[in-house]
Amino acid sequence: METLGAERIEHVTIIVTDLGRARSFYTNVLGLREVPRPKSFDFPGAWYEIGPTFLHLLGKPHQDSISSRHFCLWVGDVPRAARAVEAAGHPVVWEAKHKIPGIDRFFVYDLDGNRIEIQGPQSISGT
């Protein structure tokens, strides 16, 4: 049977209600690098490049429904990432119930309730 042949996720799009506020969170709290969008995109939004993948913010008047949907960012030092997020005033939620062997992870929510998982190699302390 022939398959689609997908090679990677190219981008993920999430809805935000205040583009300026969202840009501040994704740039200053998560440290993502914003890149230009095509000039033909005449609607509110922003793009961030994360390795070979992109995160698209789509400005809409109403936030998306709150759910367990999320995207995940891989980092080299999960405890350090958690400290940085907390220092910026955002709570982190550690996932201990469904432990992934060899992985540390936590969740953070942007100001529109979009769920973001941060994961990386398990720290020596076994967070």
Could you report the per-residue pLDDT of 35-94, keeping only the tens digit for each? 999 999 999 999 999 999 999 999 999 998 888 999 999 999 999 999 999 999 999 999
Query: Residue 2 domain-assigned?
Result: no
The residue ranking higher by pLDDT, 117 or 67, is 117
When divided into structural domains, the chain yields a total of 1
Query: Residue 58 domain-assigned?
Result: yes
Could you tell me the pTM of the whole model? 0.89
Q: How far is the first Cα of the chain from the last one, in angstroms, to the nearest whole number?
A: 43
Is 109 exposed, middle or buried, given 0-12, 13-18 or 19+ CB atoms closer than 10 A? Answer: middle
Q: How confident is the model at residue 125 (pLDDT cuts 50, 70, 90)?
A: low
Residues 45, 37 contacting (CB under 8 angstroms): yes
CATH of the domain at 112: 3.10.180.10
Query: Residue 42 domain-assigned?
Result: yes
Q: How confident is the model at residue 116 (pLDDT cuts 50, 70, 90)?
A: very high
Query: Residue 1 domain-assigned?
Result: no
Say if residue 112's pLDDT is above 60. yes
Look at residue 124 in the predicted model and tell me its pLDDT: 72
Rounded distance, CA 24 to CA 5, Å? 36
Rounded distance, CA 28 to CA 54, Å? 17
Say if residue 126's pLDDT is above 60. no
Residue type, position 59, single letter? G
Query: Residue 117 domain-assigned?
Result: yes
Query: Residue 126 domain-assigned?
Result: no
Q: For residue 70, give its domain range.
A: 11-121
Please state, rounded to an integer, the average pLDDT across all residues of the chain.
Answer: 93
Quickly tell me which residue has 């769920």 as its tokens.
Answer: 115
Dihedral Cα 80, 46, 117, 50, nearest 10 deg:
-70
Tokens coding 14: 């999430």
